[in-house]
Structure 1
Amino acid sequence: MDLRLWLTGLRPKTLPASIAPVLVGAALASRHIDQLGTCVEIHPVPQECVANQAIAETLQAHFWPVAILCMLVAVFLQIAVNFANDYSDGIRGTDEGRDMAESEPEPDAQRGGGISKPRRLVASGVPPKHVLAAAGIAAALAAICGLAAVVVSQAWWLLAVGALSLLAGWFYTGGKHPYGYAGLGEVAVFLFFGLAAVLGTEYALAGGIDAMGVAAAVCCGLNAVMLLMVNNLRDIVEDERHGKRTLAVRLGERRATVLFTACCIAAWVLGLFVCMTLWLPWGGVLLISGVGVPVRMVSSVPKRRFRTALSDAGFQTLLFAVVVVIAAAV
């Protein structure tokens, strides 16, 4: 077993897309609980205030166990999706030529020059059944952690969200008609790594969601979309050759790059709104301190420096989450 190859197969640069929304949801849930338990100092204390304080104490008692379980669900689910994607693309031949080291650029005669791409497990000779088994193990761990989180939080409807997430992860590139091959990958990423992850975490921890959570979820969704778009722009030639009609293939490289830039601008405008609303003006100042990263990311894509762009997209995703955590705490 090549441990380094399996670590590459985990696709660690995509993990910020799963970690960030849980951090954001947990931070906003903590803020929601604090507000719920705060009362005006009057006597006698209103019964509604006493009831809210009791609810807040109950939520605080299981905050950290549920938060950790939500984080584990997100990470294991991302790993399961990555392995399932590797398996499905590998047996279809979409990852043809992805058996070389990332430092060795793959020739691209149609575009000119070489593009550095990470290796894939099945394309590198790992038996497909082993990769599928790894995906199954990761999915099972995500399901176990998710069930535990639901039991502790009593948010039973989240079972449906978890089941849909597992199905979406498999049918992204699996099955007879994978939606990732039809250009719907970005929509699914926005829904599951943005709205579902942030709002699901907030609900599991705080028993409800709010407008700030929705705004932050949209921002996380846009950040996750950018991670996927960098990958799809990098693989546009091979995807088109193998009939994988991603959004980048459907739009063409130029228009997909424009859309990528638009998503980056929208994410930053919304991110500034969220961070400054939570902590005026310093939340916005903290976020703006990292503005050089998205500028470099947007400029790297037209130059086909996708490794740099992917790292920057991951950094931007985590930067927003960290600033939200700090701003909500302060």
Structure 2
Amino acid sequence: MNPHIWLMAARPRTLPAAAAPVLVGTAYAATLGTFRPLTFIATLLGALLIQIGTNLSNDYSDARRGADTEDRLGPVRVTAGGLVPPKQVLIATYVAFGLAVLVGVYLVVTSGWQLLLVGLLSIVAGVLYTGGPRPYGYEGLGEVFVFLFFGIVAVTGTFFAQREELMWEAFVLAVPVGLLATAILMVNNIRDQETDRRAGKRTLAVRLGRDRSRIGYALTVYLAFATAPLAWAFGGEHLTPWLLLPWLALPLAAPVVRVVRNKVDGPSLNGALARTGMLQLAFCVLLSAGLLLSK
């Protein structure tokens, strides 16, 4: 099997959403004096594997439900496009999630049983996004779950893996991370709005309509920048105005917001999807740097 096809199935443009919260959660732990390198590597690897498993599961489930049709504007999906037999995609899904569980065993042993619950809930949420009897991605709830699992759960779970405790600042720092992860999904759903509507997939973009969903994307992106310094503003422990550092990424945000607002063609929105992922990564690298500089 061509490795390029499996890379396509993994959807690398979405992987920054898995890596970014791990950086932020680890950086805040380091600001408080704790950094476990092996825990960081395991957490990052586990997050990437869960994201890949989720992408493969969605590829398989969407093809079975007829959501990925030939006229979709996004890249070809390997199951619906006939590039990989459905059974092989399903096996690859099990392999990705199985490897994530193995990584999770290390984290549970070193940091606590609570991370077992975090990992299992993340996997279940990934599968039920487009799988199961009533996939929440088909009911307009995808953005809610992305905000929770790629923001709140991912950042605080990473922080807990390092520190074995939870602090309110970690929850506040997770908000902008989750908002930008949500923006990635919003671009995807804005692009697929028409084909999703015909397939009966009632995403938030389908429910809101074209104009309001594009406004929603812009508000989500800019709200992430507005919330970046809140943990410092509310007197977070060891935090300083360095948390304004992510605002340096604003010049990256404005052009992609314009594209999403003004373009309807597939290539432009595919590019916006990739650029939103890179915006989130740049934002979180700067936020992590701001946390470390606060130390």
- Shared fold (TM-score, shorter chain, > 0.5): yes
Match of 2:256 among 294, 297, 314: 297
Matches for 1:270-309 after TM superposition, within 5 Å? 270-273=227-230, 280-284=240-244, 286-302=245-261, 303-304=263-264, 305-309=268-272
Q: Please name the residue that 2:284 is paired with.
A: 321
**2:40 is the alignment partner of 1:82:** no
1:47-58 correspondence to structure 2 within 5 Å: none
Alignment of 1:259-278 (within 5 A): 259-273=216-230
Do the aligned partners of 1:83 and 1:132 also contact (CA within 8 Å) in 2?
Answer: yes
- Please, what is the CA RMSD of the aligned residues? 1.8
Query: What one-letter code is carried by the residue in structure 1 that aligns with 2:85?
Result: P
Given candidates 74, 77, 96, the residue that maps to 1:138 is 96
| Separation of aligned partners in 2, 1:272 and 1:175 | 39
Match of 1:322, SS state, is helix
SS in 1 for 2:186: helix
Q: Which amino acid aligns with 2:273?
A: L
Q: Is the 8 A contact 2:197 2:206 kept in 1?
A: yes
The Cα shift of 1:209 comes to 2.3
Look up the match of 2:107: 149
The equivalent residue for 1:96 is 69
Contact kept in structure 2, 1:17 and 1:314, CA below 8 Å = yes
Report deviation, 1:140.
Answer: 0.4
Residue 6 (structure 2) aligns with? 6
Correspondence for 1:162: 119
> Is contact 2:249-2:283 (8 Å) kept?
no
Q: How far apart in 2 are the matches of 1:91 and 1:212?
A: 42
Which residue is equivalent to 1:47? Answer: none
Matches within 5 A, 1:216-227: 216-227=173-184
* Alpha-carbon separation, structure 1, partners of 2:271 and 2:239: 31
2:141 maps to which of 163, 184, 202: 184
Distance 1:239 1:259 in 2: 18
State which of 234, 250, 253 in structure 1 corresponds to 2:191: 234
- Partner of residue 25, structure 1: 25
Deviation of the 1:20 alpha carbon = 0.3
Conserved in 1, the CA contact under 8 Å of 2:228 and 2:243?
no
- Report deviation, 1:275: 7.7
Instruction: Determine the C-alpha separation between the residues in 1 that align with 2:220 and 2:55.
Output: 23
> CA–CA distance in 2 between the matches of 1:274 and 1:118?
38
Cα shift readout 1:285-318 (whole Å, capped 9, x = no counterpart): x423321211011111122321231122112211
Gaps of 5+ in 2: none
User: Which protein shows a greater Rg?
Assistant: 1
1:197 maps to 154
* Unpaired segments ≥5 residues, structure 1: 35-58, 99-105, 107-114
Query: 1-side partners of 2:163 and 2:157: how far apart?
Result: 10
C-alpha deviation, 1:210, in angstroms? 2.1
After superposition, what is the alpha-carbon deviation per residue over 1:184-210, rounded to whole angstroms, capped at 9, x for unaligned? 111111111111100011011112222
Paired residue type of 2:254: V
